[in-house]
């Protein structure tokens, strides 16, 4: 198989363009937009999470389209894992207006991105027709030609090199029905576990952490706990910008109960930190030391819940289960005085925060990528859960460890369906013979069809594409040519394999490497279910026809299955048919949501699993009475574990993260900002958002900038062991001294060329938060 792609050449041209004198001169002009953005941030800080569509942006965009609404429909926001309910106002021309749904959990609140949903389906650059690369260029093709080519390439690779020569790389943004079908097609049909996706980059450590602690993935609590918490412990998260309606709910709780305390742990002075009562800025890579020091202070100060621990908690050391007495010995190395210099937080403040966490009537912790995207991400997650177990701050209103989700359906669509390379649906594992046998029976495929070893995780997959071990990849609804770490190394894999990209836009960084590009339907142009952070499943109904010849991802998967001779495996062909199959399958698990019929999802603003019958209201909190799997007479029961006990894992701190040295003296941290979302594939095409945010740039503390002779707006080069990137530098006091921050939404500012591909050894999730770098001024 030979083919030519121009992706690498285009990347090189982008880099040259960024370093050209004219572009360097424009960096300062780009940063002039910051005044406009500062206004947006100020409005967000004051609570302008809009429930009236374009009103917020209307303050800045007089051209915000206004059109009459002929009929309203309930739906779900397309963006993050908050899963906000929306009301979509339609007319003959399409979407006229979007409002927050006052009857949904978000009570009518929407963030800036959600308020601009009316512009999403009209965004420029929509992919309308299949395209095939010929003579180095993508040209229009028919669906028959494109799908025949895809099927032929997959069939030839399987015949010549076996089923593990092909792979599926998916997304936490597809509907449940779509990801479930892809997982079934590849694992039960083709017979490969090479099924992974971008949730490996964002949620894998949280999933492993919950499973190791409770025996089952997904949070035990719910958003309603916000209304009852007295202490919010927000670590490695910036919900004021990234989950804005939830932070509005937190602020509403504080307004109703002034005793409420918001604690933010983040090396940056984020908008969340600015609106919190306490801000702790630990040194990069030291969070696990901080959490264990808090545990030490809790034991030392007799702040733990002895009765809860005795009745409901077990302890696990490196060699197996240990007694309660081992906890004290383990914590000896984490006395606040012993770790304060490494963490950068005084021992007295560590004890103060530990006391507030343990002593409140109800403590709710919230975290996202700051804990997950780390080389010790699993240990950080299990230790965060441990603090709740040691203090009994769990399984009661307002007390819960809550991992927030970045994508609209990473929880329901990927974690719950088992659509990662080591998983099977509903908490089953590929390497468990009983679990494989159960799924082979439920899926109606021969015994032994599911391979006994996990497939390739995201990093391994792109390495194998580069090495030639994986010949063909189906990539759906994600942009790995911008989102993968150590980007230059893994982009080569997309160049060397037969790479099929299914997307809604024609000019992403990933389509530059594609052999075939297939046009997909977007949001309300198709029907399906999203599952968000609190185990709530919500239906998105089809309200629009997709443009041109675009099809739903499910239609594409069903077509591919038929062409591969696997139509009998993928027997459910429509979204309602797949949903009925999938919810029936759930009845054989502790995820049981068989009571969530399509009719109920159309009626309700979502339902939370477990929901085992059509009369069941859903389950807000797990592991306590009200959860259908808790035995009668039990006040707490962690049924994911054989003895019903949650487990505190005594995982010691190890120096695995990159640390600064003489050659690379600073630490790079990447993340999101208020207005943009992920790689900007959608948000950066919406004019009010694009015009209201600066282009990609670096942020550096004024102390470091002064020391290096860098002024605000200067062009700098940031270099790591993995790559280099030039861009404008904003001098500020937001990042911690010794650190640099950058976002990843700008396609022409591919920050991940610099980011390390080191990853957690258990979850295989890469570390996007601690890359050692050098910075020098250019020009």
**Is 407 one of the annotated active-site residues of the chain?**
yes
**Is 147 one of the annotated active-site residues of the chain?**
no
Q: What distances in angstroms separate CA 541 from CA 93, 175, 675, one per listed residue?
A: 18, 11, 26
Contacts of 408 (CB under 8 A, 6+ apart): 76, 77, 78, 79, 80, 81, 83, 172, 173, 530, 532
375 touches 651 (CB < 8 A): no
Catalytic residue among 77, 85, 87, 113: 113
Catalytic residue among 153, 244, 340, 407: 407
DSSP helix, strand, coil percent of the chain (3-state; round to 5): 35, 20, 45
Q: What strands lie across the sheet with 400-403, from one edge to the other?
A: 278-280, 261-265, 231-235, 363-367, 400-403
**Is 202 one of the annotated active-site residues of the chain?**
yes
How far, in Å, CA of 190 to CA of 174, rounded? Answer: 21
**Is 251 one of the annotated active-site residues of the chain?**
no
- Calculate helix-pair angle for 347-359, 287-300, nearest 10 degrees: 70
> What secondary structure does DSSP assign to 472-513, as a single string?
EEEEES--HHHHSSSHHHHHHHHHHSEEEEEESBS--TTGGG
Q: What DSSP character marks residue 674? A: S
**Is 369 one of the annotated active-site residues of the chain?**
yes
- Of 414, 419, 424, the closest CA to residue 450 belongs to 424
Element containing residue 363 per DSSP (H, E): strand 363-367
Catalytic residue among 202, 411, 494, 596: 202
How far, in Å, CA of 56 to CA of 40, rounded? Answer: 9
Structure tokens at 734: 């937001």
Measured on CA atoms in the order 283, 243, 64, 479, is the torsion positive or negative?
Answer: positive
**Is 608 one of the annotated active-site residues of the chain?**
no
Contacts of 491 (CB under 8 A, 6+ apart): 7, 8, 11, 481, 484, 513
Measured on CA atoms in the order 578, 584, 585, 591, is the torsion positive or negative?
Answer: positive
Catalytic residue among 108, 189, 406, 723: 406
How far, in Å, CA of 285 to CA of 268, rounded? Answer: 13
385 touches 401 (CB < 8 A): yes
72 touches 96 (CB < 8 A): no
3-state secondary structure of 670: strand
Element containing residue 217 per DSSP (H, E): none
How far, in Å, CA of 424 to CA of 186, rounded? Answer: 12
Structure tokens at 571: 């027997």
How far, in Å, CA of 126 to CA of 498, rounded? Answer: 23
How far, in Å, CA of 573 to CA of 431, rounded? Answer: 29
Classify strands 195-197 and 166-170 as parallel, antiparallel or unpaired. parallel
Contacts of 447 (CB under 8 A, 6+ apart): 437, 440
245 touches 277 (CB < 8 A): no
351 touches 260 (CB < 8 A): no
HSE toward the beta carbon, residue 646, CA cutoff 13 A: 29
316 touches 650 (CB < 8 A): yes
Catalytic residue among 90, 203, 384, 411: 203
Structure tokens at 420: 């990662």
Contacts of 352 (CB under 8 A, 6+ apart): none
- Of 113, 768, 726, 728, the closest CA to residue 483 belongs to 768
How far, in Å, CA of 84 to CA of 17, rounded? Answer: 39
CA angle 387, 772, 235 (to 5 degrees): 25
Catalytic residue among 147, 264, 369, 384: 369
Catalytically active residues are 113, 202-203, 369, 406-407
């Amino acid at each position: 198989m030979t083919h030519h792609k121009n992706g690498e050449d285009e990347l090189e041209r982008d880099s040259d363009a960024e370093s050209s004198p004219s572009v360097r001169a424009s960096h300062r002009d780009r940063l002039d937009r910051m005044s406009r953005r500062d206004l947006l941030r100020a409005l967000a800080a004051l609570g302008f999470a809009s429930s009236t569509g374009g009103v917020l942006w209307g303050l800045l965009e007089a051209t915000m389209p206004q059109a009459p609404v002929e009929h309203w429909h309930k739906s779900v926001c397309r963006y993050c894992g908050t899963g906000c309910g929306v009301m979509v106002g339609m007319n003959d021309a399409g979407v006229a207006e979007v409002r927050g749904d006052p009857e949904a959990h978000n009570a009518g609140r929407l963030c800036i991105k959600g308020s601009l949903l009316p512009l999403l389906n009209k965004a420029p650059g929509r992919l309308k027709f299949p395209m095939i690369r010929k003579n180095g260029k993508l040209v229009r093709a028919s669906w028959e030609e494109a799908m025949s080519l895809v099927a032929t390439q997959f069939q030839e690779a399987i015949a010549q090199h076996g089923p593990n020569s092909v792979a599926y790389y998916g997304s936490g943004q597809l509907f449940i029905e779509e990801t479930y079908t892809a997982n079934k097609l590849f694992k039960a049909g083709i017979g490969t576990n090479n099924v992974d996706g971008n949730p490996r980059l964002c949620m894998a450590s949280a999933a492993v952490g919950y499973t190791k602690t409770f025996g089952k993935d997904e949070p035990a609590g719910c958003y309603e706990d916000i209304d009852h918490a007295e202490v919010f412990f927000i670590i490695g998260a910036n919900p004021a910008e990234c989950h804005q309606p939830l932070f509005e709910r937190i602020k509403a709780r504080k307004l109703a109960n002034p005793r409420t305390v918001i604690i933010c742990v983040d090396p940056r002075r984020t908008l969340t930190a600015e609106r919190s009562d306490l801000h702790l800025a630990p040194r990069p890579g030291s969070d696990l030391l901080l959490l264990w020091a808090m545990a030490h202070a809790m034991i030392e100060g007799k702040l733990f819940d002895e009765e809860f621990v005795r009745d409901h908690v077990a302890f696990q050391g490196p060699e197996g289960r240990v007694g309660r007495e081992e906890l004290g010995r383990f914590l000896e190395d984490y006395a606040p005085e012993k770790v304060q210099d490494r963490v950068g937080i005084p021992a007295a403040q560590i004890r103060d925060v530990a006391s507030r966490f343990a002593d409140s009537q109800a403590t709710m912790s919230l975290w996202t990528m700051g804990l997950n995207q780390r080389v010790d991400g699993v240990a950080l997650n299990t230790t965060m859960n441990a603090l709740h177990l040691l203090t009994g701050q769990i399984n009661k209103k307002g007390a819960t460890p809550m991992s927030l989700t970045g994508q609209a359906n990473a929880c329901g669509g990927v974690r719950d369906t088992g659509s990662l390379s080591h998983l099977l649906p509903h908490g089953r594992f590929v390497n468990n013979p009983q679990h494989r046998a159960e799924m082979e029976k439920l899926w109606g495929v021969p015994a032994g069809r599911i391979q006994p070893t996990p497939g390739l995780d995201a990093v391994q997959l792109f390495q194998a594409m580069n090495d030639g071990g994986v010949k063909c990849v189906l990539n759906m609804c994600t942009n790995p040519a911008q989102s993968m770490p150590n980007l230059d190394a893994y982009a080569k894999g997309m160049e060397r394999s037969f790479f099929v990209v299914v997307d809604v836009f024609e000019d992403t960084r990933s389509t530059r490497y594609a052999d075939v590009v297939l046009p997909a339907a977007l949001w309300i142009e198709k029907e399906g279910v999203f599952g968000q952070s609190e185990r709530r499943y919500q239906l998105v109904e089809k309200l629009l026809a997709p443009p041109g010849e675009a099809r739903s991802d499910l239609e594409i998967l069903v077509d591919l299955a038929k062409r591969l001779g696997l139509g009998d495996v993928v027997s459910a062909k429509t979204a309602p048919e797949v949903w009925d199959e999938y919810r029936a399958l759930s009845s054989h698990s502790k995820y049981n949501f068989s009571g969530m019929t399509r009719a109920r999802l159309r009626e309700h603003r979502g339902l939370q699993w477990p929901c085992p019958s059509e009369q069941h209201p859903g389950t807000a909190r797990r592991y306590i009475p009200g959860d259908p799997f808790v035995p009668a007479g039990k006040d707490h029961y962690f049924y994911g574990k054989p003895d019903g006990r949650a487990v505190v894992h005594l995982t010691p701190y190890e120096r695995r993260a990159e640390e600064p040295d003489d050659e690379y003296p600073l630490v790079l941290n990447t993340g999101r900002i208020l207005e943009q979302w992920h790689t900007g594939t959608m948000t950066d095409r919406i004019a009010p958002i694009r015009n209201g945010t600066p282009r990609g740039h670096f942020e550096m503390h004024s102390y470091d900038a002064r020391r290096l002779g860098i002024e605000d707006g200067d062009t700098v080069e940031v270099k790591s062991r993995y790559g280099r990137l030039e861009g404008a530098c904003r001098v500020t006091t937001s990042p911690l001294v010794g650190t640099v921050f950058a976002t990843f939404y700008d396609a022409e500012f591919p920050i991940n060329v610099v980011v390390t591909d080191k990853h957690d050894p258990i979850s295989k999730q890469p570390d996007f938060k601690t890359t050692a770098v050098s910075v020098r001024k250019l020009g």
